[in-house]
């Protein structure tokens, strides 16, 4: 047990899928896993462990933002001996070339967050995903005939911005989209010698102003979910 996870060590699989929304974790367990059981509900952060095609997997929410992902991914890696975490989340596109429900596999997370510096003194603004894990996801996407964009994204500390220079982030730093968790996940994986990846579904577009509903974000990201699950087999 940790301050934020009540599960016993043996109740959590070596591979964890982490949506931000705990209700999406519940949706995945109920619709994709067999013999699943609730293993965490501290602070409402629901976690379930079950089997996908015979493979043991845990699905658990991370909450919103770098600090929340930082806490849960660190505890899973450090204290529960989790080897691999795949974030499955939503993002806002920075370019009109991306449509709603398009898939992005993050290869680099760009952030000006101080999380990594506060955590262990890392001063860089870019952290990479685990290449070996990304390669598996890309290969599986090809097998499933899924189009997936591999890209650098912007990991932000702020959702509501008084000024939002997304065009600069796209044009100068090559960030195709924005989300709020990958930087902490990748950093924790890097310092603890673990594997981490982040698959995103475009839920809104800052250029075209298109957006999905809260219900769609909770239950309609099935292509991303299936890709993540198939990639762990």
> Predicted confidence band at 214 (pLDDT cuts at 50, 70, 90)?
confident
Q: In terms of pLDDT, which residue wins out, 163 or 130? A: 130
pTM greater than the 0.85 cutoff: yes
Q: Which active-site residues does the annotation give?
A: 204
* Tens-digit pLDDT profile for residues 44-84: 999 999 999 999 999 999 999 999 999 999 999 999 999 99
Fold of the CATH domain 9-231: Rossmann fold (3.40.50)
- Domain range summary for the chain, segments of one domain joined by +: 9-231
Give pLDDT tens digits for 117-130: 999 999 999 999 99
Long-range contacts for 203-206 (Cβ within 8 Å, ≥24 apart)? 203/90, 203/91, 203/92, 203/100, 204/90, 204/92, 204/93, 204/100, 205/92, 205/93, 205/96, 205/98, 205/99, 205/100, 206/92, 206/93, 206/94, 206/164, 206/166, 206/178
The CA distance from 15 to 76, in Å, is 10
């Amino acid at each position: 047990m940790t301050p934020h996870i009540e599960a016993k060590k043996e109740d959590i699989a070596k591979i964890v899928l982490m949506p931000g929304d705990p209700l999406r974790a519940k949706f995945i367990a109920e619709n994709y896993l067999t013999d699943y059981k609730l293993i965490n509900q501290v602070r409402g952060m629901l976690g379930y462990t079950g089997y996908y095609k015979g493979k043991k997997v845990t699905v658990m929410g991370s909450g919103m933002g770098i600090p929340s992902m930082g806490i849960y991914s660190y505890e899973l890696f450090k204290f529960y001996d989790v080897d691999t975490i795949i974030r499955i989340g939503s993002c806002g596109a920075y370019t009109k070339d991306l449509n709603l429900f398009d898939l992005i596999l993050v290869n680099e997370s760009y952030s000006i967050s101080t999380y990594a510096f506060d955590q262990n003194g890392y001063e860089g603004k870019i952290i990479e995903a685990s290449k070996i894990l990304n390669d598996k996801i890309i290969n599986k996407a090809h097998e499933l005939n899924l189009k997936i964009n591999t890209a650098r994204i912007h990991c932000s500390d702020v959702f509501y911005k008084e000024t939002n220079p997304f065009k600069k982030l796209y044009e100068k730093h090559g960030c195709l989209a924005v989300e709020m968790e990958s930087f902490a996940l990748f950093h924790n994986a890097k310092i603890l010698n673990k594997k981490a990846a982040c698959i995103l579904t475009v839920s809104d577009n800052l250029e075209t102003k298109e957006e999905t509903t809260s219900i769609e974000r909770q239950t309609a990201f099935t292509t991303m979910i299936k890709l993540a699950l198939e990639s762990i087999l």
